[in-house]
Structure 1
Amino acid sequence: MATPVTFRDALFAVLPVLALVVCPVSCYGNPRSTSLRNHTSSRYTTSTPARAAGGWSSGGATWYGSPYGAGSDGGACGYQGTVSQRPFSSMIAAGGPSLFKNGNGCGACYQIKCTGNKACSGWPVTVTITDSCPGGVCLAQAAHFDMSGTAFGAMANRGMADRLRAAGTLKIQYKRVPCNYNGMGIAFKVDRGSNPFYLAVLIQYQNGDGDLAAVHIMQQGQGGAWTPMQHSWGAMWRANTGKPLRAPFSARLVSGSGKVLVVGNAIPAGWRAGMTYWSKLNYAT
């Protein structure tokens, strides 16, 4: 059964976790006023990602925000107030359309390594998709990562992060990798607009695929019947049946590759809007 805690207290109470994630500014109410500030125009395009040895594909990368910052504060996935802290630790990126997938790509993890620049170390960094990169240079390649300054600089040789950031647009290789939150349970943050007739929940920190394809809830007294939730935006899912909703709510999560996880009493009776409820369960790693 999930236990209510404040979101900030929960983040500092959990075990140390994966610290590699990447994200750009939100297109849902957070204008990307600075998202292209450090970009140079790209002059290479592909219709589909080019595959390389070892499962790597070709793409492009830029960065935005502070050189040592987290890009945006949560962005279009809704992870406000968390991306600069563990487990993300500013290792995030905004994904172009093929990666963001209208919000269905939120939470997916990728390894990225840059090529073609003397400042590149050649070693991959791991980032999480936490935002949308909707236009401009983000459409120049089949796959584009608009990375935080921290994540972009992490691809550089020692002492050459600023030189790499000065390059603007980089050719990169990337591949999808499992997310691993090292013992952390899945978090269910109830949106502040929720009420007895309407429930909206931000779900994050899923091991494995990281993203979700479907979410269902079971209300008290439903006798095993699952009610589908609608994908609202980013990592937010909602239920609005027109009738009073009866807590506690169990959750049935379907990952992007179809893996199912059932979390009993994910949101307890007496829940409150704005609270985050942490499960002890997560997908296997």
Structure 2
Amino acid sequence: MDFTVKSNCLMFMLMVLSCLVLSHSQYFISSRATYFGSPDCKGNPRGACGYGEYGRDVNDGYVAAVHRPYRNGTGCGGCYQVKCKAGGCTDEGVTVVATDFGIGDRTDFIFPARVYSKMAQADFEGELLSYGVVDIEYRRVPCDFGGSTLVFKIHEATKYPYYLAIIIVYPPGVYDVVGVQIWEEDSKTWRDMRKPYGAVWDMENPPKGEKITFRFSLSATGSVDNGEWMETPTFVSTSLQAGATFDTGIQL
């Protein structure tokens, strides 16, 4: 197994996926947004994505609970540009990371109050907050923090070699992780990991051995039907301890 892409066919598929990403990320979707808490409030450390405290502080706290973009947890970690449509809103809006699930009054985004107010020009922030709910438009964009490669973390519940759970920290670009597998050397097969919730993938009785190789199915649209598998470097199995973070090198 080699991390390097070996075939022209796979390179062609990546080019196709890149085109899908461009078309997928360039149009805005109309919706609504609201907020919670005081101006200094951060996100929820018990968010549905499973990020814990990371879900409060990532991207300098510019995070959101999302509805449609959540997609059963597949959208966790994705970045979105969100612009309000009332008078006094900025042209840029804010860029947030999806770290939780939430729905208000027909909303797709629920922000901490300070993030919500940043969609407005300085002299309009108070008025925007007074609305409570505002019409918005949003689109998926590449994240510009923490690098651009796929990074995962060993979940705190891991008890390797009996149980292994990982959490996707940075999905690459605007791709979603729609599948994760681990190579089993004894049977020469890839074994599926399960997605119990949010950005967490797990497996009971994972493959044993000195070396562990993962592969990830990446989709530009969030659909398993058009996901493409990308293999990671081989990791030393003794490093699969709770809290460890791994940069796969996968960059799209």
Structure 1 length as normaliser, TM-score? 0.68
Deviation at 1:146, TM superposition (A): 0.7
Q: CA RMSD in A?
A: 2.5
Deviation at 1:228, TM superposition (A): 0.9
Q: Which has the higher helix share?
A: 2
Q: Deviations over 1:129-152 (max 9, x none)?
A: 110015x52xx25xx111122321
Q: Which has the higher strand share?
A: 2
Aligned CA distance change for structure 1 residues 145 and 187 (closer, same or farther; 3 Å): same
- Structure 1 counterpart SS, 2:232: strand
Deviation at 1:204, TM superposition (A): 1.4
Please show how residues 13-162 of structure 1 align to structure 2 within 5 Å.
55-73=27-45, 75-86=47-58, 88-96=59-67, 98-116=68-86, 118-134=87-103, 136-137=104-105, 140=106, 144-162=108-126
Q: Is the 8 A contact 2:148 2:173 kept in 1?
A: no
Q: Is the 8 A contact 2:183 2:189 kept in 1?
A: yes
- Structure 1 counterpart SS, 2:41: coil
- Structure 1 counterpart SS, 2:182: strand
**More deviation in 185-194 or 104-113?**
185-194
Deviation at 1:224, TM superposition (A): 5.1
Q: Is the 8 A contact 1:74 1:130 kept in 2?
A: no
Deviation at 1:247, TM superposition (A): 4.9
Aligned CA distance change for structure 1 residues 183 and 106 (closer, same or farther; 3 Å): closer
The answer for the alignment partner of 2:211 in structure 1 is: 248
Deviation at 1:101, TM superposition (A): 1.4
Alpha-carbon separation, structure 1, partners of 2:146 and 2:157: 31
Instruction: Mark the runs of 5 or more structure 2 residues left unpaired by the alignment.
Output: 1-25, 221-226
1:198 matches 2:163: yes
- Structure 2 counterpart SS, 1:155: coil
The answer for the alignment partner of 1:283 in structure 2 is: 251
Please show how residues 225-264 of structure 1 align to structure 2 within 5 Å.
225-241=189-205, 245-257=208-220, 258-264=227-233
Name which of 216, 219, 222 aligns with 2:181: 216
Instruction: Mark the runs of 5 or more structure 1 residues left unpaired by the alignment.
Output: 1-53
Q: Deviations over 1:229-267 (max 9, x none)?
A: 1111100001124x763353221111233243321234x
Q: Is the 8 A contact 2:83 2:94 kept in 1?
A: yes
Q: Is the 8 A contact 1:69 1:149 kept in 2?
A: yes
1:177 matches 2:141: yes
Across the two proteins, how many residue pairs are aligned to each other? 220
Q: Is the 8 A contact 1:115 1:122 kept in 2?
A: no
Alpha-carbon separation, structure 2, partners of 1:244 and 1:111: 40
Q: Is the 8 A contact 1:184 1:280 kept in 2?
A: no
Alpha-carbon separation, structure 2, partners of 1:237 and 1:76: 13
- Structure 1 counterpart SS, 2:126: helix
Amino acid in the other structure paired with 1:281: G
The answer for the alignment partner of 1:41 in structure 2 is: none
Aligned-pair identity (%): 29
Q: Is the 8 A contact 1:230 1:238 kept in 2?
A: yes
Q: Is the 8 A contact 1:185 1:278 kept in 2?
A: no
